[in-house]
Amino acid sequence: MGEHEKLIEDMSEKLGFTPEILKTLGELDPEFLHKYKRCNHKLLSDGALPAKVKIMIALAVVASKQCERCTVVQMQSALKNGATKEEIMEVMDVIFITSGAPAVAACRDALKLLK
């Protein structure tokens, strides 16, 4: 197993799935994958805020940018890290209040993961 495959495996274990972008980044530029892992580690590790809370913040941010695929990835990560349906629905309230209906619509596929 190559270095970038090991990095991807480590990150995938934390996320609970393997985003395709990680495979592509690893093939194109293993050094960038190292940078990505360091940033991802900050998001997925408890600090002053629990990882679950940081991931739900990330969910709200990517929804505000109307990145549908990103909302699915963050939702998967939030659920893997212990977020409840009730917590996610409160995040949806925040998304609606701060970013409106288009941002909520960007979560269409992500919300299906709650069923």
Domain ranges in the chain are: 3-44, 51-114
In angstroms, the CA 115 to CA 112 distance is 6
The CATH architecture assigned to 51-114 reads Up-down Bundle (1.20)
pLDDT computed for residue 63 by the predictor: 98
Name the DSSP letter for residue 18: -
Region for 45 from its dihedrals, namely left if φ exceeds 0, alpha if ψ lies in -120 to 50, beta otherwise: beta
- Read off the pTM: 0.85
pLDDT computed for residue 1 by the predictor: 64
Residues of the chain with pLDDT under 50: none
pLDDT computed for residue 113 by the predictor: 97
pLDDT computed for residue 49 by the predictor: 98
